Amino acid sequence: MGEAALVDAPAQAPVARVRGFAKRYGRRVAVDGVDLDIRPGEILGLIGPDGAGKSSLMKAIAGVLAFDAGSVEVFGVALDSEAACERIKDRIGLMPQGLGLNLYPELSVEENIDFFARLRLVAEQDLAERKARLLAMTRLDRFRHRPMKQLSGGMKQKLGLVCTLIHEPRLLILDEPTTGVDPVSRRDFWAILSELAAERGITALVSTAYMDEASRFHHMLLMYGGKLLAQGTPAEIQALAAGSTVLVSATPQETAFLKLRETFPQVETLGPRLCVFADDLMPDEAAHKVGQALVGFDVSEIEAGEPDPEDAFIALLRQRGLLREDARLQVAAAPATALPRGGDAVEAAGLTRDFGAFRAVDAVSFRVAEGEIFGLLGANGAGKTTVIKMLTGLLRPSGGYGRVAGVDMREAGLAIKERIGYMSQAFSLYTDLTVRENIDLYAGIYGLRRDEARQRRGWVIAMAGLEGHEADRAASLPMGLRQRLALGCALVHRPRVLFLDEPTSGVDPVGRRRFWDILFRLAREEGVAVLVTTHYMSEAEHCDRLALMYAGRIVADATPAQMKRQLEAEAGRVLELEVSDPARAAARLRALGFRDAALFGKRVHILSAAAEQDMARLPQMLGEAGIQVARIAPRQVSMEDVFVYRVSALEASEREASA
């Protein structure tokens, strides 16, 4: 991640110093008593649930938000007046939360860049050089004349970063810059940021909702309820939650899940497997204890190791008494429209959709069984949302057909609405209505009787953990609660098939865990078929089966475990190198033929077809270039590795074909 500036550097004055910071909105305390230093050349991460106070803190450091107590000093200037804030703004680049919110949709890529350059008084001779370099770095040079509104989510975020960087700020403040962005674009984004940190000495303050990005920071701050929970390097933060993670396959899964919850407070599902966090136990002890808890079950696999960052974050909140457990979802009686269990709830056969000369979906075929959680993965613009709209009857196919809950969607009338639930990518609630009013509205739309609507309203409120919020307007709810309310509204009529289009985009790790716990119970206990699109690769692990889409086509259809094994068979194992100069090491490894070398904080990841040999030879080869290797070891393949490898290979093939 470009940590060259951090290696044994002499002590320097902080770029920003915050002491006793507090911010209130009316009577609500958003941030209370936060201290932090941002050191030159580092990438500092802010992580925390919705409402933790991250955005308020970032805006105050950027000089665009007044605060109520404490002090904020940036570049040696105390931000105690509007005049003081104006003095530092030419050295700051602020990128707000939301896809392309700092851009102008009608302007082209180049016109947006030129507008921000002139706004920041960048000289024409400097603009030409900077624009060429940044467009090449972001791979947007081929799209310089395309209107911003026609860009994918990942391209919008990269353009937003270019516009934020065009005046060469010394401090970048990026509020969840990768939310809603596919994994390939996210990895591109981090590569750009790390290169700038290493080459230009840029300092960055970045918030994220993706816990798998934690390893890319030099230092992290965990916030909760407006307070600083912990700070340190990613490794130091992870070490605060002592324990091990155990992955286990046990049958029957639903009963094993409940049995493990009796002993272990932190259990989640990962497709056909269960993931258990065992407090204060080493891996071998943890595996043994999980095995003991599952005596009498059919256990086919058990594997223990170190927890990933998200597991550790959730455990830290739980161990400090900050994580409220939701009530268990009550199993509802099977609806009258239920299909015989075990059949296909969704079938897509050669689904095709053209928009003029553009083919958005090209002969897509797959099946989803009842009670199965099926994931559609793909880069922004791959065609996932178009597939869902065809299967829900919102778009008519140009070719092929889809059957949902036993009905051909080409002939489906209004009767199909009682069999399906749909939660769109765009927010699907009426924000001016209260929680109760939204639920009642959807119950009326689906034709529920008054007594049934009242019963289902109680179920939705309990399921979504909305007790006490019944009279709150939807707009006032935190993102995690809003999304669970939207899910409840999609389920109010007990559908047999549930379509979810990026349902947890922008939701914090705590909210996502609760959301997926609900989906698991719906699938396993009520037999609901769930088709979900997501950009969170950790969420892909929750799916029983995945289809990877690229340019409107399905290019892989398998379980997560099968996809990982296939990657290892084709490209080898993932090796992690801890090195003295990560940015230079990554460049050197690419020159040695490891095209997939990627920066992860102080470490570099590569795919190696000959892992044992490379572990032996790479320390010497990097040492000859003046790069010390402190450690090199294999890592488990992740779904992000699978996604990036597959999509990058397809992109490379297309570039070669068009060359």
Question: Each residue of 190-215: pLDDT tens digit?
Answer: 888 888 887 788 899 999 877 778 88
Distance in angstroms (rounded) separating the CA atoms of residues 512 and 510: 5
Distance in angstroms (rounded) separating the CA atoms of residues 588 and 625: 8
| CATH architecture observed for domain 562-658 | 2-Layer Sandwich (3.30)
Distance in angstroms (rounded) separating the CA atoms of residues 73 and 79: 6
pLDDT at 425: 67
Question: Each residue of 601-623: pLDDT tens digit?
Answer: 778 999 999 999 999 999 999 99
What are the distances in angstroms from CA 36 to CA 17, 65, 238, 255, 503? Answer: 6, 17, 19, 46, 33
* Domain map (residue ranges) of the chain: 3-236, 242-306, 344-558, 562-658
pLDDT at 434: 94
Mean pLDDT on 615-635: 94
Distance in angstroms (rounded) separating the CA atoms of residues 93 and 158: 14
Spatial contact of 439 and 466, defined as CB atoms under 8 Å apart = no
Strands 373-378 and 545-550: parallel
Mean pLDDT on 146-160: 85
**217 C-beta neighbours (distance < 10 Å), count:** 25
pLDDT at 480: 74
| Residues whose CB falls within 8 Å of the CB of residue 531, separated by 6 or more in sequence, listed in order | 346, 368, 374, 376, 388, 391, 497, 498, 499, 500
What are the distances in angstroms from CA 559 to CA 105, 117, 172, 543, 565? Answer: 38, 47, 39, 8, 10
Report whether pLDDT(492) > 50: yes
Question: Each residue of 442-469: pLDDT tens digit?
Answer: 999 888 999 999 999 999 998 888 888 9
Of the given ranges (2-11, 172-181, 356-365, 505-514), which has the lowest mean pLDDT? Answer: 2-11
User: How high does pLDDT run on average in the chain?
Assistant: 86
Task: Name the nearest CA neighbour of 533 among 382, 393, 311.
Answer: 382
Report whether pLDDT(47) > 70: yes
The CA-CA-CA angle for residues 102, 105, 106, to 5°, reads 135
pLDDT band at 329 (very low <50, low <70, confident <90, very high): very low
Show the tokens assigned to 509. Answer: 């790790």
**505 C-beta neighbours (distance < 10 Å), count:** 20
* Backbone torsions φ then ψ of 550, nearest 5 degrees: -145, 125
pLDDT at 65: 94
- Is the backbone peptide bond immediately before 619 cis, with ω within 30 degrees of 0? no
CATH 3.30.70 describes domain 242-306: yes
pLDDT at 333: 35
Mean pLDDT on 159-178: 90
Show the tokens assigned to 157. Answer: 């975020």
Task: Name the nearest CA neighbour of 388 among 428, 346, 417, 429.
Answer: 346
pLDDT at 345: 92
Strand order across the beta sheet in which 629-635 lies = 598-600, 603-608, 573-579, 629-635
Mean pLDDT on 248-275: 91
Of these ranges, 48-57, 178-187, 333-342, the one predicted with the greatest mean pLDDT is: 48-57
**449 C-beta neighbours (distance < 10 Å), count:** 9
Spatial contact of 506 and 612, defined as CB atoms under 8 Å apart = no
Report whether pLDDT(597) > 60: yes
Mean pLDDT on 206-225: 84
Per the DSSP assignment, residues forming a β-bridge with 311 are none
* Superfamily, domain 3-236: P-loop containing nucleotide triphosphate hydrolases (3.40.50.300)
DSSP letter assigned to residue 284: H
Query: pTM of the predicted model, to two decimals?
Result: 0.81
pLDDT at 1: 35
Question: Each residue of 344-398: pLDDT tens digit?
Answer: 899 999 999 999 999 999 999 999 999 999 999 887 778 898 999 899 888 899 9
**571 C-beta neighbours (distance < 10 Å), count:** 18
**555 C-beta neighbours (distance < 10 Å), count:** 15
pLDDT band at 513 (very low <50, low <70, confident <90, very high): confident
What are the distances in angstroms from CA 520 to CA 145, 198, 271? Answer: 45, 43, 9
H helix count then E strand count, the chain: 20, 28
Distance in angstroms (rounded) separating the CA atoms of residues 373 and 389: 18
Please provide the distance, in angstroms rounded to a whole number, between the alpha carbons at the two ends of the chain.
31
DSSP 517-562: HHHHHHHHHH--EEEEE-S-HHHHTT-SEEEEEETTEEEEEE-HHH
What are the distances in angstroms from CA 483 to CA 193, 454, 486? Answer: 31, 21, 5
**352 C-beta neighbours (distance < 10 Å), count:** 17
Distance in angstroms (rounded) separating the CA atoms of residues 641 and 571: 11
pLDDT at 39: 92
Distance in angstroms (rounded) separating the CA atoms of residues 590 and 598: 9
| CATH architecture observed for domain 344-558 | 3-Layer(aba) Sandwich (3.40)
* Backbone torsions φ then ψ of 413, nearest 5 degrees: -100, -155
SS3 504: coil
Report whether pLDDT(506) > 70: no
Report whether pLDDT(247) > 90: yes
Spatial contact of 331 and 525, defined as CB atoms under 8 Å apart = yes
What are the distances in angstroms from CA 169 to CA 89, 90, 172, 202, 478? Answer: 9, 7, 7, 7, 32
Of the given ranges (15-29, 143-157, 386-400), which has the lowest mean pLDDT? Answer: 143-157
Show the tokens assigned to 211. Answer: 């816990």
Report whether pLDDT(8) > 50: no
Show the tokens assigned to 223. Answer: 């916030």
Which helix (H) or strand (E) segment is 291 a member of? Answer: helix 283-293
pLDDT at 87: 94
Mean pLDDT on 276-296: 94
The CA-CA-CA angle for residues 633, 316, 512, to 5°, reads 90
Show the tokens assigned to 278. Answer: 């065992």
Question: Each residue of 58-88: pLDDT tens digit?
Answer: 999 999 999 999 999 999 999 999 999 999 9
**How much of the chain is in helix, strand and coil states, percent to nearest 5?**
40, 25, 35
**60 HSE (CA, 13 A, CB side):** 28
Question: Each residue of 81-130: pLDDT tens digit?
Answer: 999 999 999 999 998 877 667 789 999 999 999 999 999 999 998 999 99
DSSP letter assigned to residue 329: P
Same fold, 3-236 and 344-558: yes
